[in-house]
Amino acid sequence: MVTGASSGIGRQTAISCSKAGARVILLGRDASRLEETLSAMDNPEIHLMYALDLVQFEEVSAMVEEAAHKMGPFHGLVNAAGISTTLPLKLLSAEKMDHFFKTNVHTTIQLTRFFTRHSDKQSGASIVFLASVMGMAGEMGKTIYSLTKGALISGVRSLALELAPRNIRVNAVSPGVVLTPMSQNAIYSQDEESLNRVKSLHPLGLGKPEDVANACIFLLSDAAGWITGTNLVVDGGYTAR
């Protein structure tokens, strides 16, 4: 199950999962863009897609029940959906904070809760949360984004301990700046000077969605069978300084 499958890292993760032989449940808000993802996947006919808003928790719960009936038990979940912004403290209204926490944190926890009802009790399951280097390091105007991504990195540790007896591994992946529609709409991408500054902070250059999808595939696979409660940093060297 992959959220945010209609674009960026979520889309690439869904495509990479299909190429690795998985049957995938794609979740996203926009049906036509989910169709585009589906058409780029191997064996598009074996996958499922649901266009829905993850903050509609009752709808999400019903979707998971239906998907479990059609395709369960589940083996992997990648919580890739999320939003980003650059906002200084004086623009962080309570409404804005609520919106970000609901979208970036609450949705992932609720979906994970529904998902684990139907995870494979025999072979186990792996859950990946897309966090960010902004959950570990700071940048001006990134407080609200950092708060939500730091929450995921922290939550992963406790979830890993809680779910280990059920043979469910839980990890985070923290990318640096990746070339996606989300980063291309960011304020720093609107002019060459700012973009060059961001590039210079990544010794290996900006990332591609495939770079992060590969990390997700690893954590989903049996190759990561003894890894849980960790945060895999995939940032082209951003945090190496």
Partner 1 sequence: MDSKFLDQLTELLEMETPVKPADKFRDYENWDSLAYLSLISFVDEEYGIVIPRDDFGKMNTVQDIIDFIKNNS
Active site residues: 145
Sequence letter at residue 66: E
User: How many CB atoms are closer than 10 A to CB 5?
Assistant: 33
Judged by beta carbon, residue 62 or residue 87, the one nearer partner 1 is 87
Looking at residues 135 to 154 of the shown chain, list those that interact with partner 1 (rule: CB under 8 A): 140-141
- Under rule CB under 8 A, residue 187 binds partner 1: yes
- Under rule CB under 8 A, residue 191 binds partner 1: yes
Instruction: For residue 143, give both structure tokens.
Output: 């407080």
Q: Which among 82, 163, 174 is positioned nearest to 137, based on CA atoms?
A: 174
Binding mask 54-73 for partner 1 (x = CB under 8 A): --------------------
Residue whose pair of structure tokens reads 């589906």 in the numeric block: 38
The window from 62-70, 85-93, 159-167, 225-233 that contacts partner 1 (CB under 8 A) reads 85-93
Sign of CA dihedral 9, 11, 17, 23: positive
Judged by beta carbon, residue 85 or residue 230, the one nearer partner 1 is 85
Looking at residues 194 to 213 of the shown chain, list those that interact with partner 1 (rule: CB under 8 A): 194
216 backbone dihedrals φ, ψ, rounded to 5°: -65, -45
The window from 4-12, 29-37, 185-193, 199-207 that contacts partner 1 (CB under 8 A) reads 185-193
Distance CA 80, CA 91 (A): 26
- Under rule CB under 8 A, residue 87 binds partner 1: yes
Exposed/middle/buried for 226, CB within 10 Å: 0-12, 13-18, 19+?
exposed
221 backbone dihedrals φ, ψ, rounded to 5°: -85, 170
Contact with partner 1 (CB under 8 A): which of 32, 193, 226, 241? 193
Q: Which residues bind partner 1 (CB under 8 A)?
A: 85-88, 90-91, 140-141, 187, 190-191, 193-194
